[in-house]
Amino acid sequence: MRVLGVDPGLTRCGVGVVDSARGRRAELVAVGVIRTDPELSVDLRLLRIAERLDAWFDEHVPDVVAVERVFAQHNVGTVMGTAQAAGIAMVGAAKRGVPVALHTPSEVKAAVTGSGRAGKEQVQRMVAGILGLAEPPKPADAADALALAICHLWRPAGALQGGERHELTAAQRAWAAAEHAAKGRRAPR
pLDDT along the chain (189 residues), means of 10: 96 97 93 98 98 98 94 76 96 96 93 93 96 96 97 76 53 55 54
- Rounded distance between C-alpha atoms, residue 73 and residue 76, angstroms: 7
7 assigned ligand-binding residue: yes
Q: Is position 43 annotated as part of the catalytic site? A: no
pTM score, whole prediction: 0.83
179 is in an annotated binding site: no
Residue 37 annotated as binding?
A: no
At residue 168, the pLDDT reads 52
Domain ranges of the chain: 1-183
**Rounded to the nearest 10 degrees, what angle do helices 140-154 and 105-113 cross at?**
80
Does domain 1-183 sit in CATH 3.30.420.10? yes
Tell me if residue 42 falls in helix, strand or coil: helix
pLDDT at 73: 63
The residue annotated as part of the active site, out of 58, 135, 141, 179, is 141
Is 68 among the catalytic positions? Answer: yes
Task: Output the pLDDT for position 119.
Answer: 93
